[in-house]
Structure 1
């Protein structure tokens, strides 16, 4: 993927970020890519207030990927303490998925976690129902920790579950 510029998100980017993240995870538009959660959840993936909270928190950041003046991808990075970083909200425009941009954002996230937060390892959380996505992360060096996290049922800010067996599998890898 050429001509991509990766930079920190700014408050002015929130409307574009919100549109991108929703299109990558929810609704019919998300089905154009392979990372959709539309069969697991309805409703929103995030909201502008959540994005503003992330940008205001010095222990978190959103890295954005731009092609020309178009936002085409993003990744949330966070410091979890004890030399552990976290990333989530990896979003690539559905029509550009499977072209290397997601991997580029993960690598940029790894670099930023090491440089900004001194992370020696990074964790992610994935729905186990998304076997293809878990396999992609395993190819990137992630392995299951044996830990799981509950899905926040009853909080529509995280989406409207379409099934009653949602939870997250925690995966981790060391950072070189």
Structure 2
């Protein structure tokens, strides 16, 4: 169930750029501001009211009500979509996908995600430090986390 929920979240992430692409296809560039503003407002209202309404439904009707509320909503949206449907405009001279650029973008995004995922372990902007027991002439030794001592070293002080 958890894996399917993660897949659902990943696929839902494709909806954001897809709605913007549909708006760019449907409206000319000089009239694109208002449809994008309406879309963004609808997303803000949904993000704010969704958890509230979901909580009310679960509290009064049980968790299954959250799933069933989507059935009439999907039906209304399907009817409205069929009512306002227009044929797609003819494309002229559509550019082909540049595979080199797409590959470079994928590599750059993978590096960015890897770097961001590593922040909790390494921290942000902390320089690597020398341990107090490493001499200036020797190579710097890694310090144990939270200490100023190198691994596998012990210092015994006699008084």
Structure-1-length-normalised TM-score: 0.23
- Larger proportion of helix: 2
Pair member with larger Rg:
2
Structure-2-length-normalised TM-score: 0.24
- Larger proportion of strand: 1
Greater RCO (CA < 8 Å, at least 6 residues apart): 1
